[in-house]
Amino acid sequence: MASAVMAVAVEEESVNPTDAVLFVGISLVLGIASRHVLRGTRVPYTVALLVLGIGMGSLEYGTSHRLGKVGDGIRIWANIDPDLLLAVFLPALLFESSFLMDVHQIKKCIAQMIILAGPGVLISTFILGSAVKLIFPYNWGWKTSLLLGGLLSATDPVAVVALLKELGASKKLSTIIEGESLMNDGTAIVVYTLFFRMVNGSTFSWGTIIMFLSQVSLGAVGMGIAFGLVSYLWLGFIFNDTVIEITLTLAVSYLAYFTSQEGADISGVLTVMTLGMFYAAVARTAFIGERQQSLRHFWEMVAYIANTLIFILSGVVIAEGILGGDSILKHEENAWGYLILLYVLLQLSRAIVVGSLYPLLRYFGYGLDWKEAIVLVWSGLRGAVALALSLSVKARFYHNKQHNLYLIVFSLVQFVFFTGGTVFLTLIVNGSTTQFILRMLQMDKLSAAKRRILEYTKYEMMKKALEAFGDLVDDEELGPADWPTVKKYITCLHDSEGEHIHPHTSSENDTNVEHMHLSDIRIRFLNGVQAAYWVMLEEGRITQLTANILMQSVDEAIDLVQSQALCDWNGLKANVHFPNYYKFLQTTRFPRKVVTYFTVERLESACYISAAFLRAHRIARQQLLDFIGDSEIALAVINESETQGEEAKKFLEDVRTTFPQVLRVLKTRQVTYSVLSHVIEYVQDLEKSGLLEEKELVHLHDAVQTDLKKFLRNPPLVKIPKAHDLISANPLLGALPSSVREKIVGSTKETMKLRAVTLYREESKANGVWLISNGVVKWDSKKIKKRYSLHPTFAHGSTLGLYEVLTGKRYLCDMITDSVVLGFFIEAEKISSVVGANDAVDDFLWQESSIVLSKLLVPQIFEKMTMHDLRTLVAERSTMSIYIDGESFELPQNMIGFLLEGFVKTQVPLELITAPAALFPSYGDRSFLGSDGSFCHHASSYIVESRTRVIMFEISGFEGNGTLQRRASSLISHGDNPSPAKEHSGLMSWPQGSFKSRHEIDHHGNNFSARAMQLSMYGSMISNERQSPATSPKKSSHSKSYPRISPTEKRGLTTVRSEGYATVNKNVNVGTESLVGLDDATHSHAMDYSSDESGGEDEHIVRIDSPSTLSFTRAP
SS3 703: helix
The type of residue at 722 is: K
Pairing state between β 936-939 and 917-921: parallel
**772 touches 798 (CB < 8 A):** yes
Element (H, E) at 825: strand 821-827
Distance of CA 902 to the CA centre of its chain: 57
Q: Do 556 and 468 sit in the same domain of this protein?
A: no
Nearest to 523, CA basis, from 555, 548, 547 = 555
Pairing state between β 903-906 and 942-944: antiparallel
DSSP string spanning 58-119? HHHHSSSS--HHHHHHHHHHHTS-HHHHHHHHHHHHHHHHHHTS-HHHHHHHHHHHHHHHTH
Residue 209 CA to residue 191 CA, distance in Å, equals 10
Q: Do 646 and 787 sit in the same domain of this protein?
A: no
Residue 396 CA to residue 192 CA, distance in Å, equals 13
> What CATH number should be reported for the domain holding residue 795?
2.60.120.10
The type of residue at 476 is: E
Residue 504 CA to residue 521 CA, distance in Å, equals 9
Evaluate whether residue 513 is within a structural domain: no
Evaluate whether residue 505 is within a structural domain: no
Expressed as residue numbers, the domain containing 141 is 16-440
Q: Do 714 and 813 sit in the same domain of this protein?
A: no
Evaluate whether residue 608 is within a structural domain: yes
In which order are the strands placed within the sheet that holds 799-800?
749-753, 821-827, 768-774, 799-800
Q: Do 745 and 815 sit in the same domain of this protein?
A: yes
Q: Is 60 buried (19+), middle (13-18) or exposed (0-12) by CB count in 10 A?
A: buried
**817 touches 773 (CB < 8 A):** no
**1101 touches 1090 (CB < 8 A):** yes
Distance of CA 683 to the CA centre of its chain: 31
Could you tell me the mean pLDDT of each successive run of 10 residues in the chain, 1116 residues long?
Answer: 45 69 90 84 79 87 79 84 84 86 84 87 89 83 84 72 62 80 79 79 77 84 92 85 90 93 85 90 78 86 88 84 64 77 91 92 86 85 78 62 48 74 85 80 69 72 75 67 75 57 51 60 90 88 87 88 87 80 63 74 87 92 81 85 88 78 83 86 84 83 84 78 74 83 83 86 93 87 70 82 93 89 89 87 91 89 83 88 91 90 87 91 59 71 92 75 49 37 33 35 38 44 42 36 35 33 34 37 36 36 32 33
Evaluate whether residue 512 is within a structural domain: no
Which 3-state string (H, E, C) describes 333-391? CCHHHHHHHHHHHHHHHHHHHHHHHHHHHHHCCCCCCHHHHHHHHHCCCCCHHHHHHHH
Distance (Å) of CA 470 to CA 475, 482, 489: 11, 11, 17
Q: Do 646 and 757 sit in the same domain of this protein?
A: no
* CA dihedral of 942, 945, 951, 956, whole degrees rounded to 10: 0
**568 touches 528 (CB < 8 A):** no
Residues 6+ apart with CB under 8 A from 324: 61
> What CATH number should be reported for the domain holding residue 414?
1.20.1530.20
DSSP string spanning 752-786? EE-TT-EEE-TTS---EEEEEEES-EEEE-SSS--
Nearest to 613, CA basis, from 519, 692, 536, 505 = 536
Q: Do 866 and 893 sit in the same domain of this protein?
A: yes
Indicate yes or no: pTM above 0.95. Answer: no
Residue 167 CA to residue 998 CA, distance in Å, equals 84
Distance (Å) of CA 880 to CA 249, 842, 943: 75, 11, 16
Which 3-state string (H, E, C) describes 261-308? HHHCCCCHHHHHHHHHHHHHHHHHHHCCCHHHHHHHHHHHHHHHHHHH
Residues 6+ apart with CB under 8 A from 1038: 881, 883, 887, 889, 1029, 1032
Cα angle: 645, vertex 519, 493; to 5 degrees: 110
Among candidate residues 609, 642, 657, the one where a domain is terminated: 657
Among candidate residues 718, 748, 764, the one where a domain is terminated: 718
Distance of CA 120 to the CA centre of its chain: 37
**700 touches 1020 (CB < 8 A):** no
* pLDDT the model gives residue 951: 94
- First-to-final CA distance of the chain: 114
The type of residue at 933 is: G
Q: Do 82 and 123 sit in the same domain of this protein?
A: yes
Q: Do 1013 and 1084 sit in the same domain of this protein?
A: yes
* pLDDT the model gives residue 168: 58
Residue 757 CA to residue 765 CA, distance in Å, equals 18
**606 touches 614 (CB < 8 A):** no
Residue 513 CA to residue 357 CA, distance in Å, equals 37
Count the Cβ atoms, other than its own, within 10 Å of residue 22: 19
Count the Cβ atoms, other than its own, within 10 Å of residue 602: 18
- Number of helices (H) and strands (E) in the chain: give both, helices first: 40, 19
Evaluate whether residue 22 is within a structural domain: yes
In 639-738, the DSSP E strands lie at none
Q: Do 345 and 358 sit in the same domain of this protein?
A: yes
Predicted confidence (pLDDT) per residue in 29-71, tens digit = 998 998 888 877 777 777 888 889 888 888 888 777 778 888 8
Evaluate whether residue 498 is within a structural domain: no
Q: Do 630 and 487 sit in the same domain of this protein?
A: no
Q: Do 1000 and 1093 sit in the same domain of this protein?
A: yes
Evaluate whether residue 509 is within a structural domain: no
Q: Do 366 and 427 sit in the same domain of this protein?
A: yes
Domain count, the chain: 5
Among candidate residues 675, 699, 718, the one where a domain is terminated: 718
* CA dihedral of 614, 619, 621, 624, whole degrees rounded to 10: -160
* pLDDT the model gives residue 1001: 33
Residue 899 CA to residue 947 CA, distance in Å, equals 11
- The DSSP code for 1036 is T
Evaluate whether residue 397 is within a structural domain: yes
